[in-house]
Amino acid sequence: METFRTLTLCYNLDKKTMTFDSVILAGIAFELNKSLAGGRVDAIHQPGPLDVVFTIRNARTNHMLLISADAQSPRVHLTSFKRPNPKTPPNFCMLLRKHLEGVRFVRADQLGFDRVLCMRFARRHANTVSTRELLTLIVEIMGKHSNIILANETGRILGAVKPVGRSKNRYREILPGREYVPPPSHGKINPLDMTTEQFDELLSKTFAGFALDAWLTNTFAGISPFTARELSLRSEGDTARLRDEFFALIKRIQTGDFAPVIISDADGHTMGFYAFPTVQHPASNQYERSSVNVVADIYYKVAIPMLSLEHSRQAFSARLTRELKARENALKKMEQAVTESQQAVRWKEIGELILSQVNSIPPKAESAQLIDYYDPAGTKITVKLDPSLDAAENAEAYFRKYQKANFTLETLKDRIDETRAEVELLKKACNSIASITSEDQIRQIEQTLAARGIVIRNQEQVDLHKEKAEFGGHKIKRVVSEGWEILVGQNSDANDYLLTRIASANDWWLHVKAAPGAHVIIRTNGKPEAVSQSVMYLAAELAVEHSDSKHSSLVPVDYTLRKYVRKPRGAPPGKTLYEREKTIFVTPSDT
Protein backbone atom coordinates (compact mmCIF):
# COMPACT_ATOMS: atom_id res chain seq x y z
CA MET A 1 0.00 0.00 0.00
CA GLU A 2 1.02 3.61 -0.54
CA THR A 3 2.63 5.31 2.43
CA PHE A 4 2.07 8.89 3.52
CA ARG A 5 5.21 11.01 3.27
CA THR A 6 4.67 14.70 2.59
CA LEU A 7 1.97 15.76 5.07
CA THR A 8 2.75 16.36 8.72
CA LEU A 9 0.54 14.27 10.98
CA CYS A 10 -0.79 16.07 14.04
CA TYR A 11 -3.85 15.69 16.25
CA ASN A 12 -5.99 18.51 14.90
CA LEU A 13 -9.12 16.79 13.66
CA ASP A 14 -12.12 18.55 12.14
CA LYS A 15 -15.40 16.96 13.20
CA LYS A 16 -16.98 18.05 9.91
CA THR A 17 -14.69 15.69 8.02
CA MET A 18 -14.43 12.89 10.56
CA THR A 19 -17.08 10.70 8.96
CA PHE A 20 -16.96 7.23 7.49
CA ASP A 21 -20.07 7.76 5.39
CA SER A 22 -21.73 5.82 2.58
CA VAL A 23 -19.71 7.59 -0.10
CA ILE A 24 -16.49 6.49 1.59
CA LEU A 25 -17.84 2.96 2.02
CA ALA A 26 -18.77 2.80 -1.67
CA GLY A 27 -15.18 3.68 -2.57
CA ILE A 28 -13.82 1.11 -0.12
CA ALA A 29 -16.07 -1.63 -1.56
CA PHE A 30 -15.12 -0.78 -5.14
CA GLU A 31 -11.41 -1.03 -4.34
CA LEU A 32 -11.76 -4.20 -2.25
CA ASN A 33 -13.34 -5.94 -5.22
CA LYS A 34 -10.37 -4.94 -7.37
CA SER A 35 -7.72 -5.92 -4.82
CA LEU A 36 -9.15 -8.97 -3.07
CA ALA A 37 -11.49 -10.82 -5.46
CA GLY A 38 -10.32 -14.44 -5.64
CA GLY A 39 -7.85 -13.96 -2.80
CA ARG A 40 -7.39 -16.53 -0.05
CA VAL A 41 -7.88 -15.79 3.65
CA ASP A 42 -4.58 -16.86 5.19
CA ALA A 43 -4.99 -15.53 8.73
CA ILE A 44 -7.49 -13.84 11.03
CA HIS A 45 -6.59 -11.92 14.18
CA GLN A 46 -8.53 -9.82 16.70
CA PRO A 47 -6.10 -7.23 18.11
CA GLY A 48 -8.83 -5.35 19.98
CA PRO A 49 -12.19 -6.26 21.54
CA LEU A 50 -14.06 -4.89 18.51
CA ASP A 51 -11.31 -4.95 15.86
CA VAL A 52 -10.63 -7.79 13.41
CA VAL A 53 -7.79 -8.03 10.87
CA PHE A 54 -7.88 -10.44 7.91
CA THR A 55 -4.73 -11.33 5.98
CA ILE A 56 -5.84 -12.08 2.42
CA ARG A 57 -3.30 -13.20 -0.18
CA ASN A 58 -4.08 -12.31 -3.77
CA ALA A 59 -1.84 -11.91 -6.84
CA ARG A 60 1.25 -12.78 -4.76
CA THR A 61 0.53 -9.92 -2.34
CA ASN A 62 -0.64 -10.03 1.26
CA HIS A 63 -3.40 -7.54 2.03
CA MET A 64 -4.44 -6.71 5.59
CA LEU A 65 -8.13 -5.89 5.89
CA LEU A 66 -9.09 -4.05 9.08
CA ILE A 67 -12.68 -4.17 10.32
CA SER A 68 -13.70 -2.25 13.44
CA ALA A 69 -17.02 -1.99 15.29
CA ASP A 70 -15.62 0.47 17.82
CA ALA A 71 -18.20 3.16 18.57
CA GLN A 72 -15.65 5.97 18.27
CA SER A 73 -14.22 4.90 14.92
CA PRO A 74 -16.20 2.15 13.17
CA ARG A 75 -14.68 1.39 9.76
CA VAL A 76 -13.46 -1.14 7.22
CA HIS A 77 -10.43 -0.63 4.98
CA LEU A 78 -7.11 -2.08 3.94
CA THR A 79 -4.29 -1.17 6.29
CA SER A 80 -0.51 -1.21 6.38
CA PHE A 81 -0.22 -0.73 10.13
CA LYS A 82 0.35 -3.87 12.17
CA ARG A 83 -0.97 -4.16 15.71
CA PRO A 84 -0.04 -6.63 18.47
CA ASN A 85 -2.46 -9.49 19.03
CA PRO A 86 -3.51 -11.03 22.35
CA LYS A 87 -1.94 -14.34 23.34
CA THR A 88 -5.36 -15.96 23.59
CA PRO A 89 -7.68 -15.25 20.65
CA PRO A 90 -11.18 -14.05 21.66
CA ASN A 91 -14.15 -16.32 20.97
CA PHE A 92 -15.30 -14.29 17.97
CA CYS A 93 -11.86 -14.58 16.42
CA MET A 94 -11.96 -18.36 16.87
CA LEU A 95 -15.40 -18.45 15.23
CA LEU A 96 -14.10 -16.50 12.22
CA ARG A 97 -11.06 -18.76 11.94
CA LYS A 98 -13.26 -21.84 12.04
CA HIS A 99 -15.43 -20.68 9.15
CA LEU A 100 -13.28 -18.29 7.10
CA GLU A 101 -9.62 -19.33 7.24
CA GLY A 102 -8.67 -20.82 3.89
CA VAL A 103 -11.77 -19.55 2.07
CA ARG A 104 -11.80 -17.29 -0.98
CA PHE A 105 -12.91 -13.67 -1.05
CA VAL A 106 -15.71 -13.37 -3.63
CA ARG A 107 -16.85 -9.76 -3.50
CA ALA A 108 -17.95 -6.84 -1.31
CA ASP A 109 -21.42 -5.35 -1.77
CA GLN A 110 -22.82 -2.25 -0.13
CA LEU A 111 -26.34 -2.86 1.17
CA GLY A 112 -28.40 -0.28 -0.70
CA PHE A 113 -26.54 2.93 -0.08
CA ASP A 114 -26.38 2.41 3.65
CA ARG A 115 -23.26 2.03 5.80
CA VAL A 116 -23.53 -1.74 5.68
CA LEU A 117 -20.96 -3.81 3.79
CA CYS A 118 -21.58 -7.47 2.94
CA MET A 119 -18.38 -9.35 2.11
CA ARG A 120 -18.95 -12.74 0.48
CA PHE A 121 -16.60 -15.66 0.95
CA ALA A 122 -16.69 -19.10 -0.70
CA ARG A 123 -15.47 -22.47 0.54
CA ARG A 124 -15.42 -25.55 -1.65
CA HIS A 125 -16.66 -28.69 0.08
CA ALA A 126 -14.37 -31.67 0.31
CA ASN A 127 -14.60 -34.30 -2.44
CA THR A 128 -16.61 -31.97 -4.69
CA VAL A 129 -15.71 -29.98 -7.74
CA SER A 130 -18.47 -27.41 -8.21
CA THR A 131 -20.36 -27.25 -4.92
CA ARG A 132 -19.30 -24.41 -2.68
CA GLU A 133 -20.56 -22.86 0.55
CA LEU A 134 -21.09 -19.09 0.65
CA LEU A 135 -20.53 -17.16 3.87
CA THR A 136 -21.18 -13.47 4.44
CA LEU A 137 -19.33 -11.17 6.81
CA ILE A 138 -21.57 -8.16 7.44
CA VAL A 139 -20.05 -4.92 8.68
CA GLU A 140 -22.52 -2.38 10.08
CA ILE A 141 -20.94 1.05 10.54
CA MET A 142 -23.43 2.83 12.78
CA GLY A 143 -21.72 4.54 15.71
CA LYS A 144 -22.34 2.78 19.00
CA HIS A 145 -24.56 0.26 17.19
CA SER A 146 -21.74 -0.83 14.86
CA ASN A 147 -21.24 -4.57 14.55
CA ILE A 148 -19.46 -7.37 12.71
CA ILE A 149 -21.73 -10.32 11.93
CA LEU A 150 -21.03 -13.68 10.30
CA ALA A 151 -23.95 -15.35 8.48
CA ASN A 152 -24.32 -18.50 6.39
CA GLU A 153 -25.66 -18.65 2.84
CA THR A 154 -29.28 -18.77 4.04
CA GLY A 155 -28.83 -15.62 6.11
CA ARG A 156 -28.68 -17.38 9.48
CA ILE A 157 -26.34 -15.69 11.95
CA LEU A 158 -23.37 -17.76 13.07
CA GLY A 159 -21.99 -15.17 15.47
CA ALA A 160 -21.32 -11.47 16.06
CA VAL A 161 -18.65 -9.43 17.78
CA LYS A 162 -21.48 -7.71 19.70
CA PRO A 163 -24.44 -10.07 20.24
CA VAL A 164 -27.72 -8.18 20.66
CA GLY A 165 -30.67 -9.78 22.44
CA ARG A 166 -34.34 -8.80 22.55
CA SER A 167 -33.82 -6.82 25.75
CA LYS A 168 -31.58 -4.40 23.82
CA ASN A 169 -33.33 -4.36 20.45
CA ARG A 170 -36.86 -5.64 19.92
CA TYR A 171 -36.73 -4.91 16.18
CA ARG A 172 -33.94 -7.39 15.46
CA GLU A 173 -31.89 -9.83 17.47
CA ILE A 174 -28.27 -10.43 16.48
CA LEU A 175 -27.73 -13.87 17.96
CA PRO A 176 -26.56 -17.24 16.61
CA GLY A 177 -29.38 -19.06 14.86
CA ARG A 178 -31.43 -15.93 14.18
CA GLU A 179 -32.06 -14.74 10.63
CA TYR A 180 -30.10 -11.62 9.78
CA VAL A 181 -32.33 -8.55 9.48
CA PRO A 182 -30.78 -5.36 8.03
CA PRO A 183 -31.02 -2.10 9.99
CA PRO A 184 -34.26 -0.16 9.39
CA SER A 185 -34.23 2.31 6.50
CA HIS A 186 -36.44 4.85 8.28
CA GLY A 187 -38.30 5.43 5.02
CA LYS A 188 -35.36 7.03 3.24
CA ILE A 189 -34.75 6.54 -0.48
CA ASN A 190 -31.74 4.83 -2.05
CA PRO A 191 -30.12 7.60 -4.16
CA LEU A 192 -28.57 5.01 -6.50
CA ASP A 193 -32.07 4.03 -7.67
CA MET A 194 -33.22 7.55 -8.58
CA THR A 195 -33.86 8.93 -12.07
CA THR A 196 -33.72 12.62 -12.87
CA GLU A 197 -37.50 12.68 -13.34
CA GLN A 198 -38.07 11.07 -9.96
CA PHE A 199 -35.63 13.50 -8.36
CA ASP A 200 -37.43 16.52 -9.83
CA GLU A 201 -40.82 15.20 -8.73
CA LEU A 202 -39.56 14.42 -5.24
CA LEU A 203 -37.97 17.84 -4.94
CA SER A 204 -41.15 19.64 -6.01
CA LYS A 205 -43.31 17.65 -3.58
CA THR A 206 -41.13 17.50 -0.48
CA PHE A 207 -38.76 20.48 -0.56
CA ALA A 208 -40.34 23.20 1.58
CA GLY A 209 -37.76 25.90 1.03
CA PHE A 210 -35.54 25.04 4.00
CA ALA A 211 -31.84 24.26 3.71
CA LEU A 212 -30.94 22.00 0.79
CA ASP A 213 -28.46 19.99 2.83
CA ALA A 214 -31.14 19.23 5.44
CA TRP A 215 -33.53 18.12 2.70
CA LEU A 216 -30.90 15.78 1.27
CA THR A 217 -30.08 14.10 4.59
CA ASN A 218 -33.75 13.76 5.52
CA THR A 219 -34.74 12.30 2.14
CA PHE A 220 -31.95 9.99 0.98
CA ALA A 221 -30.30 7.03 2.67
CA GLY A 222 -26.54 7.29 3.02
CA ILE A 223 -26.25 11.02 2.35
CA SER A 224 -24.24 12.23 5.33
CA PRO A 225 -24.23 15.84 6.55
CA PHE A 226 -20.78 16.32 5.01
CA THR A 227 -21.87 15.03 1.60
CA ALA A 228 -25.10 17.04 1.80
CA ARG A 229 -23.16 20.24 2.56
CA GLU A 230 -20.86 19.49 -0.35
CA LEU A 231 -23.77 19.15 -2.79
CA SER A 232 -25.49 22.23 -1.39
CA LEU A 233 -22.37 24.39 -1.67
CA ARG A 234 -21.67 23.19 -5.20
CA SER A 235 -25.24 24.01 -6.27
CA GLU A 236 -25.13 27.47 -4.63
CA GLY A 237 -28.78 27.12 -3.60
CA ASP A 238 -30.03 26.46 -7.13
CA THR A 239 -32.26 23.37 -7.21
CA ALA A 240 -31.53 22.71 -10.89
CA ARG A 241 -27.81 22.73 -10.19
CA LEU A 242 -28.42 20.55 -7.16
CA ARG A 243 -29.92 17.88 -9.41
CA ASP A 244 -26.90 18.03 -11.74
CA GLU A 245 -24.41 17.83 -8.85
CA PHE A 246 -26.40 15.00 -7.24
CA PHE A 247 -26.35 12.81 -10.35
CA ALA A 248 -22.74 13.69 -11.13
CA LEU A 249 -21.84 12.31 -7.71
CA ILE A 250 -23.98 9.20 -8.23
CA LYS A 251 -22.34 8.54 -11.60
CA ARG A 252 -18.84 8.78 -10.15
CA ILE A 253 -19.80 6.36 -7.36
CA GLN A 254 -21.36 3.85 -9.75
CA THR A 255 -18.41 3.94 -12.15
CA GLY A 256 -15.75 3.88 -9.45
CA ASP A 257 -14.39 7.28 -10.45
CA PHE A 258 -13.02 8.15 -7.03
CA ALA A 259 -10.34 10.76 -6.37
CA PRO A 260 -9.62 10.49 -2.63
CA VAL A 261 -7.94 13.27 -0.69
CA ILE A 262 -6.39 13.85 2.71
CA ILE A 263 -7.51 17.21 4.12
CA SER A 264 -5.25 19.41 6.24
CA ASP A 265 -5.40 22.81 7.87
CA ALA A 266 -3.18 25.73 6.86
CA ASP A 267 -0.29 24.29 8.90
CA GLY A 268 -0.45 20.89 7.24
CA HIS A 269 -2.12 19.17 10.19
CA THR A 270 -4.47 16.35 9.27
CA MET A 271 -8.16 17.21 9.60
CA GLY A 272 -9.93 14.47 7.66
CA PHE A 273 -10.38 12.69 4.34
CA TYR A 274 -12.95 12.24 1.61
CA ALA A 275 -13.52 10.20 -1.53
CA PHE A 276 -13.37 13.29 -3.77
CA PRO A 277 -11.88 16.79 -3.64
CA THR A 278 -14.20 19.05 -1.64
CA VAL A 279 -15.19 22.71 -1.89
CA GLN A 280 -15.53 22.86 1.89
CA HIS A 281 -11.77 23.26 2.27
CA PRO A 282 -9.16 25.14 0.22
CA ALA A 283 -7.74 23.14 -2.67
CA SER A 284 -4.23 23.87 -1.39
CA ASN A 285 -5.07 21.94 1.80
CA GLN A 286 -6.15 18.78 -0.03
CA TYR A 287 -3.69 16.05 -0.97
CA GLU A 288 -4.72 13.43 -3.51
CA ARG A 289 -3.84 9.82 -2.90
CA SER A 290 -4.14 6.65 -4.93
CA SER A 291 -7.10 5.03 -3.17
CA VAL A 292 -9.87 5.54 -0.64
CA ASN A 293 -8.35 2.74 1.44
CA VAL A 294 -5.06 4.64 1.63
CA VAL A 295 -6.59 7.92 2.83
CA ALA A 296 -8.76 6.07 5.36
CA ASP A 297 -5.73 4.21 6.68
CA ILE A 298 -3.64 7.39 6.94
CA TYR A 299 -6.41 9.36 8.60
CA TYR A 300 -7.25 6.77 11.24
CA LYS A 301 -3.59 6.32 12.06
CA VAL A 302 -3.78 9.96 13.18
CA ALA A 303 -7.36 9.95 14.43
CA ILE A 304 -7.39 6.89 16.68
CA PRO A 305 -4.98 8.28 19.31
CA MET A 306 -6.86 11.58 19.23
CA LEU A 307 -10.27 9.92 19.45
CA SER A 308 -9.02 7.78 22.31
CA LEU A 309 -7.72 10.86 24.10
CA GLU A 310 -10.97 12.73 23.49
CA HIS A 311 -12.95 9.80 24.85
CA SER A 312 -10.71 9.67 27.94
CA ARG A 313 -10.97 13.42 28.34
CA GLN A 314 -14.78 13.37 28.18
CA ALA A 315 -14.98 10.43 30.58
CA PHE A 316 -12.57 12.12 33.00
CA SER A 317 -14.56 15.35 32.78
CA ALA A 318 -17.75 13.46 33.65
CA ARG A 319 -16.02 11.83 36.62
CA LEU A 320 -14.69 15.17 37.86
CA THR A 321 -18.11 16.77 37.48
CA ARG A 322 -19.72 13.94 39.44
CA GLU A 323 -17.24 14.30 42.31
CA LEU A 324 -17.56 18.09 42.26
CA LYS A 325 -21.35 17.94 42.41
CA ALA A 326 -21.24 15.46 45.30
CA ARG A 327 -18.97 17.74 47.32
CA GLU A 328 -20.97 20.85 46.50
CA ASN A 329 -24.12 19.09 47.72
CA ALA A 330 -22.32 17.94 50.87
CA LEU A 331 -21.04 21.47 51.45
CA LYS A 332 -24.54 22.89 51.09
CA LYS A 333 -25.92 20.43 53.64
CA MET A 334 -23.11 21.11 56.10
CA GLU A 335 -23.61 24.87 55.82
CA GLN A 336 -27.32 24.35 56.39
CA ALA A 337 -26.50 22.21 59.42
CA VAL A 338 -24.32 25.01 60.82
CA THR A 339 -27.18 27.48 60.40
CA GLU A 340 -29.56 25.12 62.17
CA SER A 341 -27.09 24.41 64.97
CA GLN A 342 -26.77 28.12 65.64
CA GLN A 343 -30.49 28.08 66.49
CA ALA A 344 -30.06 25.16 68.89
CA VAL A 345 -29.97 27.36 72.01
CA ARG A 346 -33.37 28.77 71.11
CA TRP A 347 -34.88 25.26 70.98
CA LYS A 348 -33.53 24.61 74.47
CA GLU A 349 -35.05 27.90 75.66
CA ILE A 350 -38.44 26.97 74.19
CA GLY A 351 -38.33 23.62 75.99
CA GLU A 352 -37.66 25.43 79.27
CA LEU A 353 -40.46 27.93 78.59
CA ILE A 354 -42.89 25.05 78.05
CA LEU A 355 -41.89 23.42 81.35
CA SER A 356 -42.13 26.72 83.23
CA GLN A 357 -45.66 27.34 81.95
CA VAL A 358 -46.91 23.77 81.69
CA ASN A 359 -50.14 24.54 83.54
CA SER A 360 -51.18 27.07 80.89
CA ILE A 361 -50.98 24.55 78.05
CA PRO A 362 -54.21 22.58 77.45
CA PRO A 363 -54.07 18.91 76.34
CA LYS A 364 -53.78 18.16 72.61
CA ALA A 365 -52.86 21.75 71.81
CA GLU A 366 -51.23 22.39 68.43
CA SER A 367 -49.65 25.62 69.71
CA ALA A 368 -49.40 27.73 72.82
CA GLN A 369 -48.99 31.42 73.69
CA LEU A 370 -46.09 31.60 76.14
CA ILE A 371 -44.34 34.47 77.91
CA ASP A 372 -40.76 34.66 76.66
CA TYR A 373 -38.75 35.20 79.87
CA TYR A 374 -35.58 35.40 77.76
CA ASP A 375 -36.89 38.60 76.17
CA PRO A 376 -36.38 41.59 78.50
CA ALA A 377 -39.73 42.94 77.31
CA GLY A 378 -41.45 39.71 78.31
CA THR A 379 -43.40 39.46 75.06
CA LYS A 380 -45.60 36.52 74.25
CA ILE A 381 -44.54 34.06 71.55
CA THR A 382 -46.39 31.31 69.70
CA VAL A 383 -44.81 27.89 70.15
CA LYS A 384 -45.73 24.96 67.89
CA LEU A 385 -46.69 21.76 69.70
CA ASP A 386 -47.35 18.15 68.81
CA PRO A 387 -51.00 17.52 69.83
CA SER A 388 -50.25 13.82 70.37
CA LEU A 389 -47.83 14.71 73.20
CA ASP A 390 -48.46 16.35 76.55
CA ALA A 391 -46.66 19.53 77.56
CA ALA A 392 -43.73 17.77 79.24
CA GLU A 393 -43.25 15.50 76.23
CA ASN A 394 -43.31 18.51 73.91
CA ALA A 395 -40.62 20.12 76.03
CA GLU A 396 -38.59 16.91 75.80
CA ALA A 397 -39.00 16.96 72.01
CA TYR A 398 -37.50 20.46 71.87
CA PHE A 399 -34.63 19.33 74.13
CA ARG A 400 -33.94 16.40 71.79
CA LYS A 401 -33.97 18.77 68.84
CA TYR A 402 -31.45 20.88 70.71
CA GLN A 403 -29.26 17.86 71.42
CA LYS A 404 -29.43 16.70 67.80
CA ALA A 405 -28.33 20.08 66.48
CA ASN A 406 -25.87 20.93 69.26
CA PHE A 407 -22.85 19.20 67.76
CA THR A 408 -19.38 20.69 67.89
CA LEU A 409 -19.37 23.60 65.47
CA GLU A 410 -15.59 23.70 65.18
CA THR A 411 -15.49 20.08 64.00
CA LEU A 412 -18.10 20.77 61.35
CA LYS A 413 -16.39 24.00 60.31
CA ASP A 414 -13.13 22.09 59.82
CA ARG A 415 -15.01 19.66 57.59
CA ILE A 416 -16.54 22.60 55.70
CA ASP A 417 -13.12 24.18 55.17
CA GLU A 418 -11.75 20.85 53.95
CA THR A 419 -14.68 20.34 51.56
CA ARG A 420 -14.39 23.90 50.22
CA ALA A 421 -10.73 23.26 49.46
CA GLU A 422 -11.68 20.05 47.65
CA VAL A 423 -14.34 21.91 45.66
CA GLU A 424 -11.81 24.52 44.54
CA LEU A 425 -9.32 21.82 43.61
CA LEU A 426 -11.95 19.98 41.56
CA LYS A 427 -13.01 23.20 39.84
CA LYS A 428 -9.41 23.83 38.81
CA ALA A 429 -9.17 20.27 37.50
CA CYS A 430 -12.39 20.74 35.51
CA ASN A 431 -11.04 23.95 34.00
CA SER A 432 -7.86 22.15 32.94
CA ILE A 433 -9.70 19.53 30.85
CA ALA A 434 -9.59 21.57 27.64
CA SER A 435 -5.79 21.85 27.78
CA ILE A 436 -5.14 18.12 28.28
CA THR A 437 -3.09 16.73 25.39
CA SER A 438 -2.11 13.28 26.67
CA GLU A 439 -3.28 10.39 28.81
CA ASP A 440 -0.31 11.07 31.11
CA GLN A 441 -1.75 14.47 32.00
CA ILE A 442 -5.00 12.82 33.08
CA ARG A 443 -3.04 10.43 35.30
CA GLN A 444 -1.06 13.34 36.78
CA ILE A 445 -4.27 15.16 37.70
CA GLU A 446 -5.65 11.96 39.23
CA GLN A 447 -2.49 11.56 41.31
CA THR A 448 -2.63 15.19 42.47
CA LEU A 449 -6.23 14.77 43.57
CA ALA A 450 -5.51 11.40 45.20
CA ALA A 451 -2.76 13.02 47.27
CA ARG A 452 -5.48 15.29 48.69
CA GLY A 453 -7.74 12.34 49.40
CA ILE A 454 -9.94 12.78 46.32
CA VAL A 455 -10.27 9.52 44.42
CA ILE A 456 -11.81 9.98 40.96
CA ARG A 457 -13.53 6.72 40.07
CA ASN A 458 -14.55 5.91 36.52
CA GLN A 459 -18.16 5.06 35.69
CA GLU A 460 -17.48 1.34 35.61
CA GLN A 461 -16.07 1.54 39.13
CA VAL A 462 -19.05 3.58 40.26
CA ASP A 463 -21.46 1.06 38.76
CA LEU A 464 -19.54 -1.77 40.39
CA HIS A 465 -19.61 0.16 43.63
CA LYS A 466 -23.39 0.32 43.40
CA GLU A 467 -23.81 -3.34 42.63
CA LYS A 468 -23.44 -6.35 44.82
CA ALA A 469 -19.83 -7.06 43.85
CA GLU A 470 -18.45 -4.70 46.48
CA PHE A 471 -20.44 -6.36 49.25
CA GLY A 472 -20.11 -9.91 48.01
CA GLY A 473 -23.83 -10.14 47.26
CA HIS A 474 -24.88 -9.22 50.82
CA LYS A 475 -27.87 -6.95 51.45
CA ILE A 476 -26.29 -3.72 52.60
CA LYS A 477 -27.99 -0.34 52.36
CA ARG A 478 -25.94 2.77 51.60
CA VAL A 479 -26.81 6.31 52.75
CA VAL A 480 -24.63 9.38 52.17
CA SER A 481 -24.91 12.43 54.43
CA GLU A 482 -22.65 15.48 54.43
CA GLY A 483 -20.20 13.48 52.33
CA TRP A 484 -20.00 10.57 54.83
CA GLU A 485 -20.95 7.07 53.77
CA ILE A 486 -23.23 5.11 56.12
CA LEU A 487 -23.70 1.36 55.59
CA VAL A 488 -26.58 -0.62 57.11
CA GLY A 489 -26.66 -4.41 57.30
CA GLN A 490 -30.10 -5.77 56.46
CA ASN A 491 -29.74 -9.30 57.83
CA SER A 492 -27.40 -11.24 60.10
CA ASP A 493 -25.08 -12.33 57.27
CA ALA A 494 -24.84 -8.75 56.01
CA ASN A 495 -24.11 -7.56 59.56
CA ASP A 496 -21.33 -10.11 59.86
CA TYR A 497 -19.89 -9.12 56.47
CA LEU A 498 -19.99 -5.43 57.40
CA LEU A 499 -18.13 -6.03 60.63
CA THR A 500 -15.53 -8.52 59.43
CA ARG A 501 -14.92 -7.52 55.81
CA ILE A 502 -15.95 -3.90 55.25
CA ALA A 503 -15.43 -1.81 58.37
CA SER A 504 -11.99 -0.38 59.15
CA ALA A 505 -10.61 -0.02 62.66
CA ASN A 506 -11.45 3.69 62.93
CA ASP A 507 -14.91 3.49 61.39
CA TRP A 508 -17.85 4.16 63.70
CA TRP A 509 -20.01 1.14 64.59
CA LEU A 510 -23.59 1.58 65.89
CA HIS A 511 -26.22 -0.83 67.21
CA VAL A 512 -29.46 -0.53 69.17
CA LYS A 513 -28.74 -1.28 72.83
CA ALA A 514 -29.79 -4.72 74.08
CA ALA A 515 -32.09 -5.53 71.15
CA PRO A 516 -31.83 -7.33 67.79
CA GLY A 517 -31.10 -5.04 64.88
CA ALA A 518 -28.80 -3.87 62.14
CA HIS A 519 -25.11 -3.17 62.42
CA VAL A 520 -24.47 0.35 61.11
CA ILE A 521 -21.06 1.56 59.96
CA ILE A 522 -19.95 5.13 59.27
CA ARG A 523 -16.90 4.98 57.00
CA THR A 524 -14.55 7.67 58.29
CA ASN A 525 -11.49 7.36 56.03
CA GLY A 526 -9.39 7.32 59.19
CA LYS A 527 -10.95 10.53 60.58
CA PRO A 528 -13.59 9.45 63.12
CA GLU A 529 -13.33 12.74 65.00
CA ALA A 530 -14.46 14.63 61.89
CA VAL A 531 -17.88 12.96 61.75
CA SER A 532 -20.49 15.48 62.89
CA GLN A 533 -23.10 14.72 65.54
CA SER A 534 -25.84 15.18 62.94
CA VAL A 535 -24.34 12.36 60.85
CA MET A 536 -23.94 10.24 63.99
CA TYR A 537 -27.57 10.89 64.89
CA LEU A 538 -28.72 9.92 61.39
CA ALA A 539 -26.77 6.67 61.64
CA ALA A 540 -28.41 6.02 65.01
CA GLU A 541 -31.82 6.65 63.44
CA LEU A 542 -31.00 4.09 60.75
CA ALA A 543 -30.00 1.59 63.43
CA VAL A 544 -33.38 2.10 65.14
CA GLU A 545 -35.27 1.94 61.85
CA HIS A 546 -33.73 -1.49 61.14
CA SER A 547 -34.29 -2.96 64.60
CA ASP A 548 -37.00 -4.57 66.72
CA SER A 549 -37.17 -1.34 68.75
CA LYS A 550 -38.41 0.84 65.91
CA HIS A 551 -41.87 1.18 67.50
CA SER A 552 -40.57 2.15 70.95
CA SER A 553 -40.83 5.70 72.28
CA LEU A 554 -37.17 6.33 73.16
CA VAL A 555 -34.42 3.98 71.96
CA PRO A 556 -30.81 3.94 73.19
CA VAL A 557 -28.23 3.36 70.45
CA ASP A 558 -24.66 2.47 71.38
CA TYR A 559 -21.75 3.60 69.25
CA THR A 560 -18.03 2.94 69.38
CA LEU A 561 -15.10 2.52 67.01
CA ARG A 562 -14.94 -0.71 65.04
CA LYS A 563 -11.66 -1.64 66.72
CA TYR A 564 -13.53 -2.01 70.02
CA VAL A 565 -16.02 -4.48 68.56
CA ARG A 566 -15.26 -8.19 68.38
CA LYS A 567 -17.05 -11.35 67.39
CA PRO A 568 -16.84 -14.16 69.98
CA ARG A 569 -15.33 -17.41 68.76
CA GLY A 570 -18.04 -19.69 67.38
CA ALA A 571 -20.74 -17.02 67.66
CA PRO A 572 -23.48 -16.94 64.99
CA PRO A 573 -23.42 -14.21 62.30
CA GLY A 574 -24.11 -10.74 63.69
CA LYS A 575 -23.34 -11.60 67.33
CA THR A 576 -20.77 -9.21 68.84
CA LEU A 577 -19.23 -7.88 72.03
CA TYR A 578 -18.11 -4.27 72.34
CA GLU A 579 -16.61 -1.76 74.75
CA ARG A 580 -15.82 1.96 75.19
CA GLU A 581 -19.27 2.74 73.86
CA LYS A 582 -21.31 5.91 74.16
CA THR A 583 -25.07 6.14 73.84
CA ILE A 584 -27.44 8.27 71.78
CA PHE A 585 -31.17 8.32 72.51
CA VAL A 586 -33.41 8.29 69.45
CA THR A 587 -37.16 8.74 69.23
CA PRO A 588 -38.45 6.69 66.27
CA SER A 589 -41.11 9.29 65.53
CA ASP A 590 -38.25 11.64 64.62
CA THR A 591 -36.87 9.22 62.00
Q: pLDDT at position 351, please?
A: 94
pLDDT for residue 374 is more than 70: yes
310 or 14: which leads in pLDDT? 310
Convert the pLDDT of each residue in 240-273 to its tens digit.
999 999 999 999 999 999 999 999 988 888 889 9
Q: What percent of the chain is modeled with pLDDT above 90?
A: 62
How much of the chain exceeds pLDDT 70, in percent?
A: 91
Long-range contacts of 533-537 (CB under 8 A, 24+ apart): 533/404, 533/406, 533/407, 533/408, 534/337, 534/341, 534/404, 534/405, 534/407, 534/481, 534/482, 535/481, 535/482, 535/484, 535/486, 536/407, 536/508, 536/510, 536/584, 537/404, 537/584, 537/586
Instruction: Provide the pLDDT for residue 128.
Output: 54
Q: Cβ(212)–Cβ(182) under 8 Å?
A: no
* β partners of residue 481: 484
Residue 42: enclosing H or E segment and its boundaries? Answer: strand 40-48
Reduce the DSSP state of residue 437 to 3 states and report it.
coil
pLDDT digits over 405-420, tens only? 765 566 677 788 889 9
Q: Inform me whether the pLDDT recorded for 196 exceeds 60.
A: yes
Calculate mean pLDDT across residues 424-446: 89
Q: Which residues contact 99 (CB under 8 A, 6 or more apart)?
A: 123, 135, 150, 158
Beta bridge partners of 487: 478, 521
At 11 the pLDDT is 35
Overall average pLDDT of the 208-236 stretch: 92
Q: Which of 33-47, 146-160, 423-437, 452-466 has the lowest mean pLDDT?
A: 452-466
Q: How many CA atoms lie within 13 A of 377 on its CB side?
A: 3
Instruction: Yes or no: say if 273 and 28 are a contact pair by the CB < 8 Å rule.
Output: no
pLDDT at 4: 30
If you average pLDDT over every residue of the chain, what do you get? 88
Residues in Cβ contact with 62 at an 8 Å cutoff, skipping those fewer than 6 apart: 42, 55, 56
**pLDDT tens column, 12-29:** 444 444 579 999 999 999
Q: State residue 17's pLDDT score.
A: 47
> What is the distance, to the nearest Å, from the Cα of residue 448 to the centroid of all Cα atoms in its chain?
24
Model confidence pLDDT, tens digit, residues 498-557: 999 899 999 999 999 999 999 999 999 888 998 988 899 999 999 999 998 888 888 999
Helical residues (DSSP H) of 342-408, grouped into ranges: 344-356, 391-405
* pLDDT-derived band at 589, boundaries 50, 70, 90: low
What pLDDT, on a 0 to 100 scale, did the predictor assign at position 126? 57
In this predicted model, which residue has the larger pLDDT, 354 or 342?
354
Q: Is residue 124 predicted with pLDDT exceeding 80? A: no
- The phi, psi pair for 35, rounded to 5°, reads -90, -30
